[in-house]
Amino acid sequence: MVKDALKLAQNGSDDIVDFCDRLQPYLVLRVRGHVASWLVKTRVRTLKIGDAMPSAVSARVPSLRKRGSAVGEEFLGLREAREKAKREWARMGNPVEAPEEKPSWTWGELVENYKTYISGMREDSSGHPIYPSAETQSDVRQIFGRKEVARHTDLLLSKANEDWFEDVQKELHEAYNYDAYRKFRAYGSAALNWAAAYRRKESGLTGRKWWLLAERRRRTEDEVTEKVERDRTRARRKADFKVEHLGMLLAAHERFCASRTGNERVSAGVRWGLWWDSLTGHRRGSGTWVAREDLELKDPRGESGWGLAVWQPEVMKTQNPFALPIPPLGLHIARCCMRDWKLAAERADLWKRDSKWVFASRVMQSEAGDIAVSGSALANHIRNMRGLREGNHRDVLRGIPHFSMHIIRSTMGDYILDETDLPPGTASLMIGHEIAGDRRNELDRVGQTGKRWYFQAQRIPEKTKAMEAWSEALLAAFKKAGGIYPD
């Protein structure tokens, strides 16, 4: 309120504009011309108690400085004006207590309520279900946990405004990067929109949606330059990493796992999970999230010796179920992981513990509950092989072009697209994502029930041909790099 009034006064106003205090409605900041004055107003009387124009502004407008000193007016900030207004209000015979403020959540209460909301099942405006996303929940916890945001935990939403929102955006951008600003704006706006729409009275967000008025930010010139270079580097690394390099990686991975014993032993989920993600081309965060009940070790509708894996909507970025035919190599990987996980449980004296996941997390982490091995565990394993983690400073991946788990996914798609004669659209089908120049046909839009789901919506026969080509190429590259069939 005060900032808006002072800005208006500095520019000059042809009309009389009153700004009323939300906590003390009888306190009014009136702008007329270039003057901003504090008033106490009742139904029968208006009393001026001071000016709001600070010295830095009045010094630029000589007439204001002279006028203020001539009449002996004092310049008051908001706090001083409120205190003086209370005294004058009382002298006029009114109760000293300020009107009761409407209930309002704090910023911290909004954050906690929003985190609870996104952790459960919900639906979009069309009535379609939205499954909880572990990735989204992690992003929300991280951005709202930044000290630049968390220190506002006790701020009442009724006292927040677009200036506050802009200040937090600026701090995050300058302290971290553009992405930190972007995530705060996205998730902060989403939380406020949700509260205003569905918890309006409780939250106190009953007025204008001030957060939508906050200024946006752009990347700085240096950040744009850095982004262009990152994109070029990513594209170059993607083009450089081929199936033969993936074979070298898996061969080095097997040797590394064999060399680790005792407490340094690589967990079953990580050892076999890297193989699984390489074979299925899945995203790092969801590839290993396959329940045992969703893995058919024998697919009655598929090729002899093949199985079928289904990823449920809650682990998929698209929020749709996704199926892949699994060749004998993949079934072997899955069986080995479940076997080794059980042996590890026995070594840890957890005989009765079981898991619903094929690639279950390390048994020693029982406090985390029954979870599948995470993408971050696989990424840390690769860092370990590169000698970047404490206790291991030997890089066993020397000679292999730099890569990430996501590049492995691209390697699979590019191989199917460029190195096989499979029909257009097959590579996109395999990774569940449209690849430029690899158009799918209209059959993908067929309903997901019964045979139509299996043969048309999921296109299992086409995926089987692609998986056969990819698994053979992967195993051939592994053996060429000196790898021995894993057991």
Give me the pLDDT at residue 202, please: 92
DSSP assignment letter at 483? -
pLDDT digits (tens, 9 = 90+) for 283-334: 777 889 999 999 999 998 888 999 999 988 887 877 778 899 999 999 999 9
Strands 122-123 and 46-51: unpaired
Q: Answer whether 30's CB lies under 8 Å from 51's CB.
A: no
**What are the distances in angstroms from CA 180 to CA 189, 217, 343, 363?**
14, 11, 43, 35
For residues 121-158, one letter each, b for 16 or more C-beta atoms within 10 angstroms of the residue's C-beta and e for the rest, the string is eeeeeeeeeeeebbeeeeebeebbebebbeebeebebb
Report whether pLDDT(25) > 70.
yes
Backbone angles phi, psi at 18, to 5 degrees: -105, 135
DSSP assignment letter at 92? T
Give me the pLDDT at residue 157, please: 94
Across the chain, what does the average pLDDT equal?
Answer: 85
- Considering only residues 397 and 91, tell me which one the structure prediction assigns the higher pLDDT: 397
- Encoding tokens for residue 4? 């808006």
Give the 3-state secondary structure of residue 369: coil
pTM higher than the cut 0.85: no
Q: Which position has the token pair 């890297």?
A: 274
Which stretch, 35-39, 93-97, 122-126, has highest mean pLDDT? Answer: 35-39
Q: Answer whether 123's CB lies under 8 Å from 130's CB.
A: yes
Report whether pLDDT(461) > 60.
yes
Strands 122-123 and 129-130: antiparallel
Please classify residue 46 by burial: count the beta carbons closer than 10 Å to its beta carbon, then call 0-12 exposed, 13-18 middle and 19+ buried.
exposed
Strand order in the sheet with 46-51: 13-20, 27-33, 35-41, 46-51
Measured CA to CA, the distance from residue 419 to residue 424 in angstroms comes to 12
- Encoding tokens for residue 390? 């404490």
| Alpha-carbon 187 to chain mean position | 8
Confidence of residue 70 (pLDDT cuts 50, 70, 90): very low
- Encoding tokens for residue 19? 């700004």
Percent of the chain with pLDDT over 70: 86
- Encoding tokens for residue 485? 């069939």
251-256 — which CB contacts under 8 Å span 24+ positions? 251/478, 251/481, 251/482, 251/483, 252/385, 252/396, 252/397, 252/400, 252/481, 253/385, 254/483, 254/484, 254/486, 255/396, 256/384, 256/385, 256/396
Report whether pLDDT(446) > 50.
no
Please classify residue 406 by burial: count the beta carbons closer than 10 Å to its beta carbon, then call 0-12 exposed, 13-18 middle and 19+ buried.
middle
- Considering only residues 266 and 371, tell me which one the structure prediction assigns the higher pLDDT: 266
Give me the pLDDT at residue 465, please: 94
> 1-15, 184-198, 203-217, 252-266: lowest mean pLDDT where?
1-15
Backbone angles phi, psi at 395, to 5 degrees: -90, 105
Q: Which position has the token pair 């970047």?
A: 388
Report whether pLDDT(222) > 90.
yes
Measured CA to CA, the distance from residue 268 to residue 340 in angstroms comes to 6
Give me the pLDDT at residue 406, please: 86
Confidence of residue 450 (pLDDT cuts 50, 70, 90): low
- Encoding tokens for residue 224? 């744009």
Give the 3-state secondary structure of residue 308: strand
Cα angle 477-482-485, degrees, rounded to a multiple of 5: 75
Q: Which of 199, 188, 180, 168 is nearest to 111 (CA)?
A: 188
Measured CA to CA, the distance from residue 40 to residue 468 in angstroms comes to 82
Confidence of residue 23 (pLDDT cuts 50, 70, 90): confident
